[in-house]
Amino acid sequence: EIYRASTTAPVNIAVIKYWGKRDPSLNLPTNSSLSVTLSQSDLRTHTTASCSPTYNSDSLLLNGSPQDTSGSRTQACFRELRSLRSELEKSDASLPKLSTQKLKIVSENNFPTAAGLASSAAGFAALVRAIADLYQLTATPTELSRIARQGSGSACRSLFGGYVSWEMGSAADGSDSLATEVAPSSHWPNIRAIILVASSAKKGVSSTSGMQQTVATSELFSHRAKVLVPERMTKMKDAIKRKDFAAFAELTMRDSNGFHATCADTYPPIFYLNDTSRAAIRVVENINAAAGRSIAAYTFDAGPNAVVYYLAEDEGAVAGVFKGFLGEKEGWGSERGGKVKVVEG
Which positions touch ligand DP6 (CB under 6 A)? 14, 17-19, 27, 33, 118, 120, 152-154, 207-208, 301-302
Contacts of 141 (CB under 8 A, 6+ apart): 159, 160, 179, 181
Amino acid at 163: Y
Q: Minimum distance between the CB of residue 194 and ligand DP6, rounded to whole angstroms?
A: 18
Cβ closer to ligand DP6: 99 or 299?
Answer: 299
Burial 116-145 (b: 16+ CB within 10 A, else e): bbbbbbbbbbbbbbbbbbbbebebebeebb
Strands 3-10 and 12-16: unpaired
By beta carbon distance, the residue nearest ligand DP6 is: 153
Cβ closer to ligand DP6: 153 or 169?
Answer: 153
Q: Minimum distance between the CB of residue 122 and ligand DP6, rounded to whole angstroms?
A: 11
H-helix or E-strand spanning residue 125: helix 119-134
d(CA 321, CA 192): 15
Q: Minimum distance between the CB of residue 26 and ligand DP6, rounded to whole angstroms?
A: 10
Q: Minimum distance between the CB of residue 58 and ligand DP6, rounded to whole angstroms?
A: 20
Cβ closer to ligand DP6: 27 or 99?
Answer: 27
Residue 40 and residue 159 in contact, taking contact as beta carbons nearer than 8 Å: no
Cβ closer to ligand DP6: 158 or 276?
Answer: 158
Q: Minimum distance between the CB of residue 92 and ligand DP6, rounded to whole angstroms?
A: 35
What are the phi and psi torsion angles at 86 (to 5°)? -65, -35
Cβ closer to ligand DP6: 301 or 314?
Answer: 301
